[in-house]
Every structure is written in structure tokens, then in C-alpha cells.
Structure 1
Amino acid sequence: MYLIKTPHFIQNLFPHFTWRIPTEEKQIFLTFDDGPVPEVTPWVLEQLKQYNAKATFFCVGDNISKHPEVFQQVVDAGHVVGNHTMNHLNGWVTENITYFHNIRQGASQSKSVLFRPPYGRVTPKQTQFLLRHYRIVMWDVLSGDFDTNITPEQVLKNVVQNAGPGSIVVFHDSIKSKERLEYALPRVLEHFAAEGYSFDALHPQEMFETELVHQRA
């Protein structure tokens, strides 16, 4: 089971995680987990380019090392890269030292201080350590494109009905998600572009400055 829309009470329980960007502007922050892979990621880049959209790719380090040319395509297109561990480890079932070492390996591949824990699963003790070194990015809306039990139409509906100004939306540039992603992503881009939204990447420094302004307001 998973939640499409992250409830505010959960976001408030973990205020040091970035769940959304506090803005009233028509901005959406699309993110893509688990790539880069040649079967999906270049197609995603083409879709984004059509709308002058920038996104954030939380990359698995092992995929970066296997497909460096695809990773370079992401960087060259002006998108932001984040760390999704080296081997897509689940923090709830991984010893801390092993987990931290795997994250460092992923960071060495991605060269990023942005970190998204696979499955969104990270323990309080792991969080304490990670916040000293990384900015932990979660999400406001989960598309569900990884779920083989739902239709592509439902993935589209999940995003269109739940995303709004400042939402961080999760897709997956993975082979498992390919069928649902290929249906939903172009339609999400078309829908929100028609509504006057821009699609922006998560920049660590800008995120920090925005949060400071929000805290002082």
C-alpha cells in the first residue's frame, strides 16, 4: 500500500524533509527515480524538451556507472541530478553502516547533495546522520507508475487530481514503469502546460533560500 497524496500531518512529522516547495506560483517539480536506463530515460528527456521542462532525476549509482552516456544526456539537457543510493537499498532493512556507505557510493556517482531514500524508507537514526550531509527530498504526489496493478489512465489521474503549485511529483524512468509512464507523462505535461504551469528542477541552494524566506514569513 502507498499514498498518492502525502498528507500534511505526515509532512509535519518530518519537517526537515523537503516534501514540496512553498510557493503560490504555478510551478510543478517533476522528479524521476531509478534511472538512468537507455530504454526509458532518453524518451523522458525528449518529452520534457517539448515543453521546455526541467526536472530532477534521482539516479541509482549503479545505473550511472552502467550507462554513463545516458547520465550525461540528462546533465547536458540542463536537468538536476540527485542521489538514490548505489543499489536502491531500503533503509528500513539495511544496517546503518552498509546504508551510509551505499549512499556515499551513489553520491560519488551523481555528485549531488540531494538524496531521496528508495521507497521513502529511512529510519530516524539514519535521518539524523544524513541531514548533516544531504538534503532529503521526498514528495507531495506519487504517480504510482511503478504499480503494475493499476492502469496508465489511473497514473495520469493520480497526478492531475492531486498536484498543484509547489508539488513535487514522483515518476520512474525505469523499465518496470515504462508502459504507464509513456501514457501518463506526455498528458501530464500537456495538461499542466495548458493550465499555465512551468516545470522546474529542484536546485539545492534555491530550495534552502526559499525555505528561509518561508520560515521568516
Structure 2
Amino acid sequence: MRFVPAKIPYLIKRIFPNYVWDFSSNKKILYLTFDDGPTPEITQWTLNTLKKHNAKATFFCIGNNVTKYPDIIKNILEEGHSIGNHTQDHVKGWKTSTKNYLENVLKAETIIKNELKEKQQLKLYRPPFGQLKNSQGKAIIQLGYKIIMWSVISFDWEHKISKAQCLENVISKASKKNNIIVFHDSVKASRNMMYALPKVLEHFSKEGYVFKAIPSY
């Protein structure tokens, strides 16, 4: 069941001003993000597709997946993309104590940093499902992270949403500058994401947009 629309309302951004929902600039920039990877084949397909359009993106990685597929993380870095923390086990913040939640975040941090090898600072964090208690959010910010949310979400993982609707969610809602867009490089989302992403890149490239990774500093 969906609790948020494809385009995040302004009111929610006002309620949580310490989280990053979008960026402020007059330039035509979009920030593509991919959650839940790295995933064999799907993440590499995503990297190849981004490269065709000279696009950079940000990958919010699950620690467990990084342990399983370290070579994919290396490919992400070599292609010039940013890496973010997405917890160790994709835990739900609302159903997890702050202590256990932070332990999960820090476990992922250790694993991901070992792969980064100082090539990039790990300062970006996105909560799975967008779920975060106030106490968890404050603690994560105190650790030095920027909490990166989104302004547009594709709902690519929802099987009830068609490939065309997934594409429309992004095309129709990301027409303003500096939006942060969410896709998933996961098996569950692959049908819709692999249909929509090339068309999103082509559409907005023709409109004069560039795609950048979220800075990790």
C-alpha cells in the first residue's frame, strides 16, 4: 500500500527540513538515485545505460549486498558515481529500536567503507522505505551523514504499476530542476526500472538536463 504520492508534497519537506529532498539551483540538473543494490546483472545494466547518456547517479547500497558482490561496488566507483548507505539488512526504522537501527547502519558503514578505500567519503544515507524515527534521524546526522530523501519516486518495485505508469511517474513529476529521483537496481523492480530508465534519460537529455551524482561531502 502506498502512503506517499510520486511527487513529495511541499508540506512534508517543511515538516522534515533537516533531510535533503531536492537541491536549489537555476541549472537543469536531475539527480537519479538507485536503492537496494548492488544486484548482479541489474546494477551492471544500469551502469551501462547511464554511461550511454553520460549520466552520473547515486547508489544507496545494502551492506549485505556489498559483501556478496564487492566487484559491482568497484564498477560503480570506477564509473564516477556516488555511493550511499542503505543499512545492512534493509531494516524498517519504524519497527526497530534506535539502538538496533544505528548498529545496523554502522555495520553497513564499515563494510562499504572497506570497499571505498578512501576513494569517496561515505556521507550519504537513505532510510529503507523512507522510514525514520526522529531519534534515528538525529543520531544519523550526528554521525556526519546527509539524509537523502527524494522529491520524485518511480514506484518501480510495485507489480501493480505498469511499465508505462512507472515511466509516467517520473516524466510527469520531474519536470522541474534539481529533483532527486528514486529507482531501484533490484530484481523486484527490474521490469519497470529497465523499461523506464532509458526513456527517462532520453527524454530529459533532449530537454537539456544533465544527470549528476549527489556530492558525498
Give the TM-score band, short-chain normalised: over 0.9
| Misfit runs of 4+, over 6 Å | none
- Structure 1 residue 70 corresponds to structure 2 residue 72: yes
The percentage of counterpart residues that share the same residue type is 42
Give, in whole Å, the separation in 2 of the partners of 1:27 and 1:198.
5
Aligned to 1:213: none
TM-score (norm 1): 0.93
Q: List aligned pairs for 1:132-171, cutoff 5 A.
A: 132-133=142-143, 134-163=145-174, 164-171=176-183
Q: Alpha-carbon deviation of 1:3?
A: 1.6
Give, in whole Å, the separation in 1 of the partners of 2:209 and 2:133.
35
Give, in whole Å, the separation in 2 of the partners of 1:162 and 1:139.
12
Aligned to 2:136: 126
Unpaired runs of at least 5, structure 2: 114-121
Decide whether the 8 Å contact of 1:142 with 1:159 is kept in 2: yes
What count of residue pairs does the alignment treat as equivalent? 205
Q: Alpha-carbon deviation of 1:204?
A: 2.9
Determine which of 31, 53, 56 is the counterpart of 2:55: 53
- Structure 1 residue 28 corresponds to structure 2 residue 30: yes
- Structure 1 residue 116 corresponds to structure 2 residue 126: yes
Decide whether the 8 Å contact of 1:34 with 1:172 is kept in 2: yes
TM-score (norm 2): 0.93
Give, in whole Å, the separation in 1 of the partners of 2:81 and 2:216.
13
- Structure 1 residue 103 corresponds to structure 2 residue 108: no
Decide whether the 8 Å contact of 1:20 with 1:166 is kept in 2: yes
Q: Alpha-carbon deviation of 1:147?
A: 0.7
- SS in structure 2 opposite 1:15? coil
Determine which of 165, 170, 181 is the counterpart of 2:193: 181
Decide whether the 8 Å contact of 1:30 with 1:169 is kept in 2: yes
- Structure 1 residue 190 corresponds to structure 2 residue 192: no
The one-letter amino acid of 1:28's match is L
Aligned to 1:43: 45
Q: Alpha-carbon deviation of 1:109?
A: 2.2
- SS in structure 2 opposite 1:125? helix
- SS in structure 2 opposite 1:131? helix
Give, in whole Å, the separation in 2 of the partners of 1:57 and 1:176.
16
- SS in structure 2 opposite 1:204? coil
Give, in whole Å, the separation in 2 of the partners of 1:130 and 1:70.
26
Give, in whole Å, the separation in 1 of the partners of 2:112 and 2:60.
9
Q: Alpha-carbon deviation of 1:72?
A: 0.9
> What is the CA deviation profile of residues 4-29 of structure 1, one whole-angstrom value per residue up to 9, with x for unaligned ones?
10001100111100000111210000
Q: CA RMSD in A?
A: 0.8
